Every structure is written in C-alpha cells, then in structure tokens.
A = this chain, B = another copy of it.
Amino acid sequence: MLQDTLSFATPDCSGCPIRHRAVCARCDGDELARLEEIKYYRSFEAGQTVIWSGDRMDFVGSVVSGIATLTQTMEDGRTQMVGLLLPSDFVGRPGRDGAAYDVVATSDLVMCCFRKKPFEQMMETTPHIAQRLLQMTLDELDAAREWMLVLGRKTAREKIASLLAIIGRRNASIQSVSVADRVVFDLPLTREAMADYLGLTLETVSRQVSALKKDGVIELQGKRHVTVPDFSRLLEEAGDDQDGGLLV
C-alpha cells in the first residue's frame, strides 16, 4: 500500500485523489511547481491519532488511502464523530491555526499534505484555489447539516440505514461497484465507531444491523462485508425522500 504513494509524486498531480486534484486543476506550470515544492506524504497506522483537537496544525491535505475520523469528546468521555474522511477527502482549515477536532486513523492511512503557510500564500494570489476550497467547504457544511437531521430526528434503524447508504454511495461512485440497484462494500468502521457516528450505543447498532439483515434489507458476509440487494429499499429505510442528499 505504501509504495502507491510513489505514483503521486508527479508534478501534474495526476495521481492525486479527486478533490485534492480539483484544488489545483486550473493551476498552470508555475503554480504546480510551487505546489510540488510544499507537498509531502504522511503515513499512519490504524488507531494512531493524526492530530489532537486544539493542537497547532501546520498542514492541509487530503486522504490518499485509508479511513480517518473527526471526533469530539466531552470531559466525561462521551464522544461524537463529526466527520468521516474517505480517500479523496480534504483535511484542514486554511486560515486557522488550531485543529478543531481529533483526527484519528481508523485504518492504515496515507495523506498527501501541503505545508500550510505557503499554501495560504498561494491561496491569496490564486483566486480559483480559494473558490474551490469554498465549494468543498460548502459541501461539507451540507453534509454536516444533513447529519444533524439524522442525529436529531431519526430512529436507530433509520440511522443505521442512513449510514449504510452514505458508505454504499461513496463506494459505488468511487469504485463503481454498483450494478443496477445492487451495492457491495466493506464497512470501514467497527460497531463502536458506527455508534459514535450515529449517537447510539454499540449494542443498539449491533441489534439494528441484525434486524436489517433479518428483514432482507442487507446481507452480511462476515461482520463487515455488506451486500445491499436493493439500494432504493435501503434509502426508504433511511427515511430519505428518493435518493436526495446524503453526500459525505
């Protein structure tokens, strides 16, 4: 997996993941060279914390491979996941010094980073970079607000279905695994992590996953490998109005 990173060290960013590449899609030769200069890779092992909330964050970047989560924790230990970072997702807060959340690698993780200071300087002189980042941030804001509806108003079963729908859709669009309405993917999260995302306990997650299986909404091979025989059925279970929204 790590040798994959070699292929990204090209000056045109041609191997870089979708969103990351989009940041510099309209850059010309000089700008690309500058991006190359400030670019580097970081690898993490499963379970490692990439950065702690409040720490100084001196880079922005995007996930190349692996999964990371954004989480918030209260003093008494209650935790809420506020974001799920899949390959191609952007990490970082241009213009901010501190990290706002804990970023934790849920699997082995490779990130492609830009040093923040020079990146911000580029932003100031290269309008389309700030514009692209604005679009990406608006996407994330939409996703966060979509999730507020899930957390505030959906039942446990609907929550599970919503999460499976998000992951299924992401997998389908990236790997185009989906054939017609059939979607197959591996859950990148433990039951506990799912619970932290959904504002539930891990027991409830386990029970509702079993229930969805019993009712034929999903099929399971092992604990993690999921087959959704009818994706629109899953969306219905999620309480969604016909495939609207639910982007991450």
Contact = CB atoms under 8 A, between A and B. Distances in A.
Given A130-B131, A137-B134, A142-B100, A148 B148 contact: yes
Q: Nearest 7 pairs between A and B by C-beta?
A: A152-B199, A82-B145, A151-B151, A144-B144, A130-B130, A80-B149, A80-B152
A125 B147 CA distance: 34
A137 B137 CA distance: 7
19 contacts: A70-B145, A72-B146, A72-B148, A76-B239, A82-B145, A82-B149, A95-B134, A95-B135, A96-B138, A100-B145, A124-B128, A124-B131, A125-B127, A130-B130, A134-B137, A137-B138, A140-B141, A144-B148, A152-B198
Given A72-B148, A101-B145, 15 more contacts: A75-B239, A76-B239, A78-B153, A80-B152, A95-B134, A124-B127, A124-B131, A127-B127, A137-B137, A137-B141, A144-B144, A144-B145, A147-B148, A151-B199, A152-B199
Contacts of A241: 74-75
Interface of A: 70, 72, 74-76, 78-80, 82-83, 93-96, 100-101, 123-128, 130-131, 133-135, 137-138, 140-142, 144-149, 151-153, 198-199, 239, 241
